[in-house]
Structure 1
Amino acid sequence: MAVVAWGRFFARAWLCRRAWQGCSRQYRAAFCAELKQPLAIEKVDHRPVCPHEVRVNVHFCGVNFADILVCRGQYQEEPHLPFTPGMEFSGIVLETGTDVSTVKEGDRVIGVCGFNGMAEECITDQKSLWKIPEGVALREAAVLPISYGTAVLALEHRARTQPGETVLVTAAAGATGLAMIDVATNVLQAKVIAAAGNEQKCKLAMQRGAQSSVNYSQGSLKEAVRKLVGSGGVNVVIDTVGGDVFLEALRSLAWEGRIVVVGFAGGTIASVPANVLLLKSISATGMSWGQYKNKNFSLFSSILSSVLRYCQQGRIQPYIGAEFKLEEVNDAFLHVTRRKSTGKVLLSLK
């Protein structure tokens, strides 16, 4: 497989060199040429934009665990090698195709691009871009698409969270967890119990708006939640961990509580005990952020527009835990996989 991958890589490189004979400039991009190997920084020849496409000068790109999984061959989508990872970015429009009407040259935008954001330039469909309103910086805007899009979808659309309800958020100090706390507390006026794996992360979650916290490495999550809210339980759980943490969180729900499965950062997918659902009339639902772009684009787009508006209004405050240069992309990946990260990890392309 490695021979085939490298063969494709050099074939692509040859084609790029051929194409460059009539081109005037190149840009740098992170390339995954072989799965489970460090990324390389390569120079790429820019291509013309198609009528519906937009060329963006990328300033910041989010580093997500899904980027790492796809570079390991462990993600549900498997782009052909070699490819550039990076699912979300912020930047400035450089060029538009002849049929583009939604943005123009010079506009500041966020983008959701599949796998090509970790590059100094990105070409994407106009439908994958949203204008950044005045008052929102490019750096903070890059945090919004995945983490905050997921938070709003999970809390508003799937869990139907109401003001005054209590929400339990697992992996609360991660990018998605902190976004959940921010949206639940400051947009939906809910109360948040933050669950995390160490005291430092619990402290950060409290600083970012959680009313209370639980360190689930120190004992039973269910019992800790019971001490905080009593036997009634919490109204909503947003779980990104899976495994035993999911099961403990499920049993922490109140009558007619709702649990939303967002991911399995712990590496284990738990089986749902149906009797628990029955006894408390619990609703267990899932939420795959990326699928909404294909399955319900109008909802997907409206939520990203809402997130940008919340940020402009100062109702949410994106938290950036670490920032790396493009040439430090492998260090950024290690920072995430070693569980050192809190909040969003960004690549700075400028």
Structure 2
Amino acid sequence: MRAFQVTGFDAPPSITDVPQPVPAQGEVLLRIKACGVNFADMLMAKGKYQDTPAPPFTLGMEVCGIVEGHGPGTTQPAIGTRVSVFGGQGGMAEYGVFPADLCRPVPDAMPDDIAAGFQVAYGTSHLALTRRARLQAGQTLLVLGAAGGVGLTAVEIGKALGATVIAVARGADKLAVAQAAGADHLIDSDAGDLKAALKALAKQIGGIDVVYDPVGGDAFKAALSSCNPEARVIVIGFASGDIPQIPANILLVKNIDVIGFYWGNYLKFAPDALTDSLAELMEMFTQGRLKPHISDTLPLDRAAEGLELIASRKSTGKVVITP
């Protein structure tokens, strides 16, 4: 079968012919229908992600596929079941093996490409905003990188939770995508002084209660300066490439919480939190309350292009690979 593999961190990933994998005990074999691309895939290809396996390995953290085989002693999900799964790797291929207990049946109304890119982005935003940020209806949520893979879901979920949402993104086209997802206020991060723009808007609407930050760098610093007392700043990632140093004096004076969030780690210490969150998100989708946005769907031969779309920030919402 074909797989998009990292064979070493000194060379770019490439399409490779490899044996079809065989499921071990507790695993299922999936015929992969679609694979969501994440910022972490790009980092993993360079050996810079916290959970990077040793080469060679196949990229692709989350997939939708059809169960075609079981490992020894494994009977569920049944053969022919369409499932989504966060496996951490192995998704950008024609087949893959994944833990059976992580596979979740996909609603009939959810297409393969949406199911493949749903868990990480929506799961990250939902659990971060509800469990960690404690976002309440009537509060104001600032989303940085608001047209990106996770940022756009934060806009949508924040609005669904009853918050007033401020979207910060680069350029009119990306802001239009964020507005369509429910953003109430729009700020172009390329249009000038972001810190001044945030302060002016915060003064107008009564400040910012929660900041959702997958960007880091100067955007983090600008957001921090506009927070209300007892605001919560959720650190999701550092797409800017700049990990900010946090000025503890501002946290002290304004009683601000800066809170880290890594969705994948909940599989290790609180898997029930992920299960409950994803069940709620699936129900929201079924009810028509969530409208996932995919900007690019590419065949496996163009998987490298998918990574570049993420790296260059040219995509909006999700990028999906379809083997």
Interval of TM-score (by shorter of Structure 1 and Structure 2): over 0.9
Give the structure 2 partner of residue 216 of structure 1.
189
Instruction: Check conservation: 2:36, 2:113, Cα contact below 8 A.
Output: no
1:77 Cα offset (Å): 2.4
Aligned residue type for 1:230: K
Separation (CA, whole Å) in 2 of partners of 1:284 and 1:151 = 16
Instruction: Check conservation: 1:57, 1:93, Cα contact below 8 A.
Output: yes
Instruction: Check conservation: 1:261, 1:285, Cα contact below 8 A.
Output: yes
**Partner-residue secondary structure (3-state), 2:150:** helix
Give the structure 1 partner of residue 16 of structure 2.
42
Give the structure 2 partner of residue 227 of structure 1.
200
Give the structure 1 partner of residue 261 of structure 2.
287
1:36 Cα offset (Å): 4.4
Instruction: Check conservation: 1:36, 1:71, Cα contact below 8 A.
Output: no
Q: 1:214 to 1:246 in 2, by over 3 A?
A: same
**Partner-residue secondary structure (3-state), 1:321:** strand
Instruction: Check conservation: 1:144, 1:307, Cα contact below 8 A.
Output: no
Q: Deviations over 1:127-180 (max 9, x none)?
A: 221111232222211121110010011111110111111100000010101110
Separation (CA, whole Å) in 1 of partners of 2:112 and 2:19 = 25
Give the structure 2 partner of residue 252 of structure 1.
226
Structure showing greater Rg? 1
Structure 2 unaligned spans of 5+: none
Does 1:171 find its partner at 2:145? yes
1:234 Cα offset (Å): 0.7
Separation (CA, whole Å) in 1 of partners of 2:247 and 2:84 = 40
Give the structure 2 partner of residue 153 of structure 1.
127
Aligned residue type for 1:105: I
Q: 1:189 to 1:44 in 2, by over 3 A?
A: same
- What are the residue-to-residue correspondences of 1:94-109 with 2, within 5 Å? 94-109=68-83
**Partner-residue secondary structure (3-state), 1:114:** coil
Does 1:92 find its partner at 2:66? yes
When the two chains are superposed, the root-mean-square deviation of aligned CA atoms in Å is 1.5
Separation (CA, whole Å) in 1 of partners of 2:21 and 2:186 = 50
Aligned-pair identity (%):
37
1:78 Cα offset (Å): 2.9
**Partner-residue secondary structure (3-state), 2:273:** helix
Instruction: Check conservation: 2:7, 2:13, Cα contact below 8 A.
Output: yes
Does 1:197 find its partner at 2:148? no
Does 1:341 find its partner at 2:315? yes
1:197 Cα offset (Å): 2.2
Give the structure 2 partner of residue 240 of structure 1.
214
Give the structure 2 partner of residue 15 of structure 1.
none
Q: Deviations over 1:7-34 (max 9, x none)?
A: xxxxxxxxxxxxxxxxxxxx22111112
Structure 1 unaligned spans of 5+: 1-26
**Partner-residue secondary structure (3-state), 1:230:** helix
Q: 1:163 to 1:102 in 2, by over 3 A?
A: farther
1:223 Cα offset (Å): 2.4
Number of residues of Structure 1 aligned to a counterpart in Structure 2: 322
Instruction: Check conservation: 1:29, 1:118, Cα contact below 8 A.
Output: yes
1:98 Cα offset (Å): 4.2
Instruction: Check conservation: 1:36, 1:73, Cα contact below 8 A.
Output: no
1:109 Cα offset (Å): 0.7
Moved more, 38-47 or 54-63: 38-47
Provide TM-score, normalisation by structure 1.
0.88
Runs of 4+ in 1 over 4 A off after TM superposition: none
Instruction: Check conservation: 2:202, 2:226, Cα contact below 8 A.
Output: no
**Partner-residue secondary structure (3-state), 1:309:** helix
Moved more, 98-107 or 202-211: 98-107
Q: Deviations over 1:223-249 (max 9, x none)?
A: 222332317411110011111110111
**Partner-residue secondary structure (3-state), 1:167:** strand
Separation (CA, whole Å) in 2 of partners of 1:49 and 1:222 = 52
Give the structure 2 partner of residue 274 of structure 1.
248
**Partner-residue secondary structure (3-state), 1:238:** strand
Does 1:207 find its partner at 2:180? yes
**Partner-residue secondary structure (3-state), 1:340:** coil
Instruction: Check conservation: 1:196, 1:214, Cα contact below 8 A.
Output: yes
**Partner-residue secondary structure (3-state), 1:162:** coil
1:37 Cα offset (Å): 2.4
